[in-house]
Amino acid sequence: MILQAKRIVLGLSGGVACYKAAELCRLLVKAGSQVQVVMSEGAQAFITPTTMQALSGQPVITSQWDSSHPNAMPHINATRGADLIVVAPCSANFLSRLAAGACDEVLSLMCVARPSETVALLLAPAMNREMWSHPATQRNLRQVQADGAQLLGVGTGEQACGETGDGRMLEAAEIFEEIQAALSPKLLAGKRVCITAGPTFEAIDPVRGITNKSSGKMGFAMAKAARMAGAQVDLIAGPVSLATPRGVQRTDVTSARQMADAVAACVDSADIFIATAAVADWRPAVEAEDKIKKDGSGRTPALAFTENPDILASVAASPRAKSAQLYCVGFAAESGSLIEHGRAKRMRKGVPMLVGNIGPSTFGRDDNALVVFTDAGELEMPRSSKDALASELIAMIAENTRTVG
């Protein structure tokens, strides 16, 4: 809902990456934004205004001399009342004009004419690797940042020219996520958040192990939401196949003990710890050096188990948590009697907030239904997308940490 009814100016300068701008426009419109596309002359050599008009549902601005505007000032009309301007792609040539404050065509004119205190300017560079590393380009990058623009960085990989390196424009989904972050309230600005996500895998032998059905999606959604709220986020992930959210520092682990070690290294400098991971309660007491083979007798191997460290309870019992310097949030996946088990688990773990759900109804899905347990009682959160739920939870956590502080 962050982008619902937002007014976004999407600027395209000349570059083959203009094809990605079409997908970005589609994502913004789908999210409920009103998108005003502005195209430089160079951009029109790569993609047509007709295409962008069809995707945005708005006439495309292509010239500062557009007489269809009553006052003949499209560069003023488009920026007044806008929430954000994003230039994607931002070519090396356009960057140089912006650094110089040139107003010789409609897109650079619009960027200079924007009310800079209320309308953020995001730039998604796109160029050949040699152009990207050229001293003039790097100088221009520093200048536009000093002038208040936000650079989104570049990707690395194959380029349209056939070369490989830095300079690729970020993918549409990545830029979309950066726009969401730019427009999100910074409820956790200045905070550091440590989050665990996904299952753990406890080895039986070199090829087998025990795990659970957690996909890690809720934990990754929490990491994304915390970063959008302005926090510095450390994500400790079990074995999952999920892309790292933009701007999040990720550490990959496999077992519960590895996760415990990673958490211990993280929480000493964190303000908030969110234990979303479904950590295995037990592990085999001994990991066999070789694969345990069937011998044809029909007998099954005898496996002994030992308890894994309770990461959440250990962190919650630490001096920093006890003195309210570290706010701890736990997650609990139950198979039934959620209210009863959630209340008991929160008290047993010693945390101010615990979030519960029915695991079998959410594992692997993109949506969830939650119950939040605190000293004030229980709050039911109806089924919604995990991204939406994560945003609501982060807002609750921000409010609770302000109250505690």
pLDDT by residue (tens digit) across 81-91?
Answer: 899 999 999 99
Going from N- to C-terminal start, the domains of the chain cover: 7-183, 192-284+303-404
pLDDT of residue 12: 98
pLDDT of residue 404: 55
Same fold, 7-183 and 192-284+303-404: yes
Is the model's pLDDT at 405 over the cut of 60? Answer: no
Q: How confident is the model at residue 299 (pLDDT cuts 50, 70, 90)?
A: confident
Is the model's pLDDT at 195 over the cut of 60? Answer: yes
Calculate mean pLDDT across residues 180-193: 96
**Cα separation, 326 vs 320, whole angstroms:** 5
DSSP labels for 189-236?
Answer: TT-EEEEEESB--EESSSS-EE-----SHHHHHHHHHHHHTT-EEEEE
| CATH homologous superfamily for the domain 192-284+303-404 | CoaB-like (3.40.50.10300)
Mean pLDDT of the chain: 94
pLDDT of residue 136: 97
Could you tell me if 242 and 216 are in contact, meaning their C-beta atoms sit under 8 angstroms apart? yes
Is the model's pLDDT at 336 over the cut of 90? Answer: no
List, by residue number, the catalytic residues.
Answer: 161
* pLDDT higher at 327 or 361: 327
What are the distances in angstroms from CA 45 to CA 48, 144, 186, 218?
A: 7, 25, 39, 42
Residue range 7-183 in CATH 1.10.390.10: no
Calculate mean pLDDT across residues 154-164: 91
Is the model's pLDDT at 57 over the cut of 90? Answer: yes
Give SS3 for 130: helix
Mean pLDDT is lowest, of 279-283, 326-330, 358-362, for: 358-362
CA angle 339, 343, 346 (to 5 degrees): 135
Q: How confident is the model at residue 208 (pLDDT cuts 50, 70, 90)?
A: very high
pLDDT of residue 202: 97
pLDDT of residue 403: 62
